[in-house]
Amino acid sequence: MEEYLKRQKRLEIRKKFIEGMSVEEFLEYFEDPEKVFCDTTKKMSPLYMENARNQLLRDLPYHLSKDVNNELRINNYHYIPTLRALETNKKLGRRKTKRIALMKESEIDDIFIKELCYARMQVEIKEYLLKKEENKRRAFLWAKSTNQLLECGCCYDDEILEEDMEYCNAEGTRHKFCCNCIRRYAEEEIGQGRINFRCLEGDCKAEFSLGTLKRVMKPSVFSNILARKQLEEIAAAAIEDLEACPFCNFQTIMPNKEDKVFKCLNPECMKDSCRLCKEPNHVPLRCEEVEKQAQKDARTFLENKMTEAMVRECWKCKKRFIKQDGCNKMLCSCGAMMCYICKKAIRGYDHFEDKPQPTDSNNRPFLMPLNIHTDVIVNPFLFRFLLSLKKKRFEIAKVECPLWSNSDKIHAEEVRDAARKLRNELDPNIELKYDPTNDLPE
């Protein structure tokens, strides 16, 4: 149900952009669309890139596909910058015939839908913004000529239009400030977790009204302020049997004390939670039997790190693996060899103290004198190769690790060592309900 409602809300927003909207509505979503959609430093999704290419081929039926692909790469696969570059470049070649129209994609990226809407409306939006700017310029010149410009009580700018000023709600003399100062002040207060906005005049006890905040703040920010104020007012009313969802702002009255499960009816949440411990619904378990989120996070952290302690990584291709059985000479699919015990790169069995013993036809091991005054068994093929080069002496890698070992025992030791180190990194105030370090093999 939760996923269905989220999907429905997403489809409603998509429908608005697909069917079209007014310039004012579009600018409510994107205050500066040029900055949002023409920033080529942002990396786009594969679906967006596919949508952009197909749409460009539809928009420019006489342009060559190679030119479209090349310009897309230059503009980091952004649709509008690429479209503008192709339309203004007169040196590009053209097809003799019109390209056959491509079929519409079955799936379209959400961002691409909004960008396509802006591409269709960009002329209207530009004209609207220019007209708005021109009207404001004329209003400013008229107000200046008639001495009607005002001064902000915060930044002390003395050339501000009446329409760009707001007032506190004090009785009698109200203090006036520019919208930019009020907006910055409100954003700072929100960042500090406060939702009551006092007047910027030092001795004034008045506040800025919700109407003032609505005019100066972005719609998304103001809606959050409004929701938090409503919650504060409800809490101050001390309504009996009032319960709140721990995952969102939804509240309702639940007079039945036997009902232990809170069912959130917020379409964006729809979660069930326990009224007593505020954790996700855990019926039939009791609250003390449930693992809290902090405990779960700590346990998961421990389990992941303990698992990583057993994992090896190829020194060449970085592929990760765990050995179940076999010897300790690991041969990766990339061709690299390494020791499972010390995790070092090796060249063969010479690294191990109990390497295999190759023999001749009489079942005798091949021996070769070394400069360390001892005899070491070597590979017969390597032996013949060295003789052919008339080399009488050579050195082998230092013997370090056993060729055979108990993998389960090695893994258990590694996990125990990792667990001891990681236990000290956890918050001492968190008591694990299920401690994975208690069940380690001996």
**Active-site annotation, residues:** 327
Evaluate whether 183 touches 171 at the Cβ level (below 8 Å): no
The structure tokens listed for 198 are 């006092």
CB 98 within 8 A of CB 128: no
Q: Do residues 40 and 81 touch, judged by C-beta distance below 8 A?
A: yes
Which are the contacts of 362, defined by CB distance < 8 A and separation ≥ 6?
none
Specify the residue for token string 């893994």: 411
Pairing of β 261-263 and β 367-369 = unpaired
Tokens of 151: 């001064």
Distance between CA atoms of residues 207 and 174, nearest Å: 10
Pairwise CA distance, residues 52 & 40, whole Å: 13
Rounded Cα distance between 14 and 138, Å, is 38
Are 156 and 200 in contact, with CB atoms under 8 Å apart?
Answer: no
DSSP class of 347: S
Distance CA 351, CA 344 (A): 10
C-beta of residue 340 within 8 angstroms of C-beta of residue 310: no
Distance CA 98, CA 96 (A): 7
Preceding omega of 380 cis (within 30 degrees of 0) = no
Four-CA torsion 115, 118, 120, 121, nearest 10 degrees? 170
The size of the chain, in residues, is 442
Q: What is the DSSP string of 237-301?
A: TT-TTEEE-TTSS-EEE---TT--EEE---TTT--EEETTT-SBP-TTS-GGGSPPHHHHHHHHH
